[in-house]
Structure 1
Amino acid sequence: MAMRFQAVIRAVAGLGIGLMLAGCAEDIGVDQYGRKVAVERLEGQWLVINYWAQWCAPCRTEIPELNALEKQLKAQSVQVLGVNFDVLQGDKLSQAAQDMGITFTVLAQDPAERYQLPRAEVLPVTYIVDPQGRMRERLLGEQTAAGLTARLVVLKAEG
């Protein structure tokens, strides 16, 4: 009986540890509102990852285009994500995103390592990542919703 009890305890402990570890790997950080961004929400989708800053004039012009792209392509498994170049966090990130009029998800943690994105040296810069998590394109300078849609069509056709 004691051995059976020990086996049950080990099984429960193993299950608990497994769930804790799975929980750690299940998010990509938080958004501008402090909400967790689950990895499952991004897996299997095309990602348009844009780096922006409040002091960047072209970024300010580009944000409405990215907002439009997000609404336009959301049903087509395309997710627009923003990353603040100045690494703002918490309330400062939330306020900056609000001041810029951003309606798409802004990640508090830079996903560059996860998607092997090269360091952004100029702004704005936009990366297109395929559903397998591979960077497919790096676009420097201000982008439009129409231009990004066209690039996505070409990249999707290439496979």
Structure 2
Amino acid sequence: MQAVCDHRRRFKQTWKVSKFGEKIQEILPVGCHLLGDAEFTLSDELLTPYIPREEGGKLTRRQENYNYIHCSSRMAIECAFGMQRFRLIRRQLELKSVTNSTKCILASMILHNIIFHLDDDTINRKEQEDSNGIVLENEGGDDAKKICRAKRDELANLFAC
């Protein structure tokens, strides 16, 4: 299961893993992107961190800065899954059916969002700022890779200012 959350750790979209790549272009406005960990393939819709072995063995200061900001931003989804798991599923699921397990997890995500809504609007009003990945096929070859790398480089340059 794949999920997207906002900066406040609220789940926005979920998919079966096989549907993730198909749906990503449908939910993203033009020019926008998601952040993924190094397990994902860099694409125009999904930006990943710089990997030293792909960058000649060592990252520049600009690339390290990008990775730091990228990682900090991506922590929202990891925290959302962690909070959801421990808040709502305090023990291992003992369901034998993948379908029923998926339904249970989706229900817990909905409850997670409801709890956040109630906490934010009626209790403390404090916004908190604080992957499992799949490898997506990289279609388009070297030209597509160059475009994706250029997009990531452009963001890295913005972060360096």
Judge same fold: TM > 0.5, yes or no.
no
Q: TM-score range by the shorter chain?
A: under 0.3
Which TM-score applies when normalising by structure 2?
Answer: 0.24
Greater Rg by CA? 1
Q: Answer 1 or 2: which has greater strand percent.
A: 1
Q: Answer 1 or 2: which has greater helix percent.
A: 2
- The higher-RCO structure (CA 8 Å, 6+ apart) is 2
